[in-house]
């Protein structure tokens, strides 16, 4: 049982004055696996004051000092990888191999890519007689989600540190255990007092207080579009910068000249990864009408292969979704899909056969879907793929862009230039060509209601920097 009843503020573990406890539930067993304390606006104020005081000195550190700090964090993180992975598996249900290699590994990867970006980043440039400087934005409020706990912490904390910012982190109260281990890593690595602070709490209390706080200069939020809107509204009162990575309903366009078997298989496996709990998942597969039936049969066979069950057991490749609320939402949407005329060719409502507890979802593929159906428009955030036929390439692009979201897109073609041509027409922040995986050095973020700003690599570092122009800096 994890007992994490303290917050990390000003370089020390602090017992909050409030006594609001929250049970952390293992979604595979529906049993309590840990306890945290829920913070208040007063706790936020204490943490922000510590970060504000630390900013005066940390913002003046050299590139070399920050490089050394990131290197120390990476070293300690590597020594705690198994602890991080175990906590992630316990709090959000990821199978152990996936928790170690993908979940814990992604957090480490962001520190390594940020370190590389920091070493090469140009903080100053001269334009004529004007000097352009990029300086730390200030004290940052960071709010992270439960689906990729350390991935999102890593891609916010690492660039904030690299930029010279100080911060207050609020991890998801659904999956806070790995965040506490991360705070231990930061402490052991010798992060200066007040530079990194972490408090637990819910969105309406701690998230709201962070977003409204006059001494927070920037909010970086990852989560639902609904919650992102609330953060933006609260932050607007003090005109602070807001960077958001929100929802998605990404289209996967399989062109007529693609290797159909390879493209469908890749798309299904990508959709089912992390139990479908990825904002950039290829949740809408668009297939030429004349190839549709064949594609559905391929998808059905592939979706039947994941081994769903206890994340701690060898051979299990898909765990539960992270919490009861999400489980119930997905079940409602599965039934809605059927009620609106879609066909669940595999999966559907209910738990997988042989499982009577835990928030497990059947890997599901829906056929006979059109883009006006609820399951084609709402972000389901589970292992649910919808397959939509199209007549022409023009129609495929139109369907792909017919969504309030614009996070990612996927295009498969036997001709890379053909794939590139279609990719340029997608109104999304990212496009994967022919199954290309994500690139931690490339910017991650979206258009429209998928958010604003970018994370990862050099572009992620820029988000935490202000631009100052000093005219007359150089002689004419």
pLDDT tens digit sequence for 117-165: 999 999 999 999 999 999 999 999 999 999 999 999 999 999 999 999 9
Region 184-202 average pLDDT? 98
167/205 Cα distance (integer angstroms)? 18
DSSP 182-233: HHHHHHHTTPPTTTEEE----IIIIIHHHHH-TT--EEEEES-HHHHHHHHH
Radius of gyration of the chain (CA): 23
DSSP-assigned beta bridge partners for residue 140: 167, 218
Q: In this structure, are residues 383 and 272 in contact, taking their beta carbons and an 8 Å threshold?
A: yes
**Active-site residues: which are they?**
245, 279
Residue 263 tokens, joined: 């493209």
pLDDT tens digit sequence for 55-108: 999 999 999 999 999 999 999 999 999 999 999 999 999 999 999 999 999 999
Task: Please write down the long-range contacts of 423-430, taking CB distance under 8 Å and 24 or more positions apart.
Answer: 425/397, 425/401, 426/251, 426/397, 426/400, 426/401, 427/401, 428/250, 429/454, 430/280
Query: Domains (ranges, CATH) in the chain?
Result: 2-246+450-470 (3.40.605.10), 251-439 (3.40.309.10)
Asked if residue 464 has pLDDT above 80, the reply is yes
> Where in 27-72 does DSSP place strands (E)?
31-37
pLDDT at residue 325 in the model? 97
Q: Which residue has the higher pLDDT, 337 or 474?
A: 337
320/266 Cα distance (integer angstroms)? 21
pLDDT tens digit sequence for 258-309: 999 999 999 999 999 999 999 999 999 999 999 999 999 999 999 999 999 9
Asked if residue 438 has pLDDT above 80, the reply is yes
> pTM score > 0.85 for this model?
yes
pLDDT at residue 18 in the model? 80
330/336 Cα distance (integer angstroms)? 10
Using pLDDT thresholds of 50, 70 and 90, give the confidence band for residue 31: very high
Asked if residue 4 has pLDDT above 80, the reply is yes
415/421 Cα distance (integer angstroms)? 10
Using pLDDT thresholds of 50, 70 and 90, give the confidence band for residue 27: very high
Residue 85 tokens, joined: 């992975």
pLDDT at residue 277 in the model? 98
Region 392-421 average pLDDT? 98
pLDDT at residue 475 in the model? 79
46/456 Cα distance (integer angstroms)? 29
Using pLDDT thresholds of 50, 70 and 90, give the confidence band for residue 205: very high
Share of the chain above pLDDT 90, in %: 99
Region 391-418 average pLDDT? 98
pLDDT tens digit sequence for 318-367: 999 999 999 999 999 999 999 999 999 999 999 999 999 999 999 999 99
Q: If residue 169 lies in a helix (H) or strand (E), which one and from where to where?
A: strand 166-170
Q: How many helices (H) and strands (E) does the chain have?
A: 16, 23
Residue 5 tokens, joined: 């009843």
């Amino acid at each position: 049982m994890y007992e994490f009843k303290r917050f990390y503020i000003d370089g020390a573990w602090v017992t909050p004055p409030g006594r609001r406890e929250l049970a952390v539930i293992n979604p595979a067993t529906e049993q309590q696996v840990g306890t945290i304390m829920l913070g208040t606006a007063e706790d936020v104020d204490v943490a922000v004051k510590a970060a504000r005081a630390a900013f005066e000195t940390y913002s003046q550190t050299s590139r070399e000092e920050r490089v050394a700090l990131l290197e120390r964090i990476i070293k300690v993180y590597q020594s705690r990888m198994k602890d991080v992975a175990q906590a992630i598996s316990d709090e959000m249900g990821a199978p152990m191999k996936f928790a170690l290699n993908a979940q814990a590994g992604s957090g480490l990867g962001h520190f390594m890519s940020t370190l590389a970006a920091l070493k090469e980043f140009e903080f100053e440039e001269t334009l004529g007689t004007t000097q352009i400087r990029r300086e730390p934005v200030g004290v940052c409020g960071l709010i992270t989600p439960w689906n990729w706990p350390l991935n999102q912490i890593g891609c916010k904390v690492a660039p904030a540190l690299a930029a010279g910012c100080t911060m207050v982190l609020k991890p998801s109260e659904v999956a806070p255990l790995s965040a506490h281990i991360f705070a231990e890593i930061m402490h052991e690595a010798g992060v200066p007092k007040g530079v990194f602070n972490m408090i637990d709490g819910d969105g309406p209390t701690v998230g709201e207080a962070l977003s409204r706080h006059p001494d927070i200069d920037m909010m970086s939020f990852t989560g639902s579009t609904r919650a992102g809107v609330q953060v933006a509204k609260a932050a607007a009162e003090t005109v602070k910068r807001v960077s958001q990575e929100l929802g998605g309903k990404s289209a996967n366009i399989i062109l007529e000249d693609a290797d159909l078997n390879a493209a469908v298989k890749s798309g299904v496996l990508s959709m089912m990864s992390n139990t479908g709990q990825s904002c950039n998942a290829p949740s809408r597969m668009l297939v030429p009408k004349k190839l549709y039936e064949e594609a559905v049969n391929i998808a059905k066979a592939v979706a039947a292969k994941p081994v769903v069950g206890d994340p701690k057991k060898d051979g299990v490749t898909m765990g539960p979704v992270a919490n009861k609320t999400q489980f119930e939402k997905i079940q409602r949407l599965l039934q809605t899909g059927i009620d609106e005329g879609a066909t669940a060719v595999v999966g559907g409502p209910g738990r997988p056969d042989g499982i009577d507890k835990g928030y497990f979802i059947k890997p599901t593929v829906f056929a006979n879907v059109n883009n006006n159906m609820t399951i084609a428009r709402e972000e389901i955030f589970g292992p649910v793929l919808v397959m939509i036929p199209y007549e022409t390439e023009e129609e495929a692009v139109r369907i792909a862009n017919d969504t309030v979201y614009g996070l990612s897109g996927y295009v498969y073609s036997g001709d890379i230039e053909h794939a590139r041509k279609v990719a340029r027409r997608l109104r999304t922040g990212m496009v994967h060509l022919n199954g290309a995986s994500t690139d931690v050095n490339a910017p991650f973020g979206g258009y429209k209601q998928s958010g604003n700003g970018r994370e990862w690599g050099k572009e992620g570092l820029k988000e935490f920097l202000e631009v100052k122009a000093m005219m007359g800096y150089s002689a004419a």
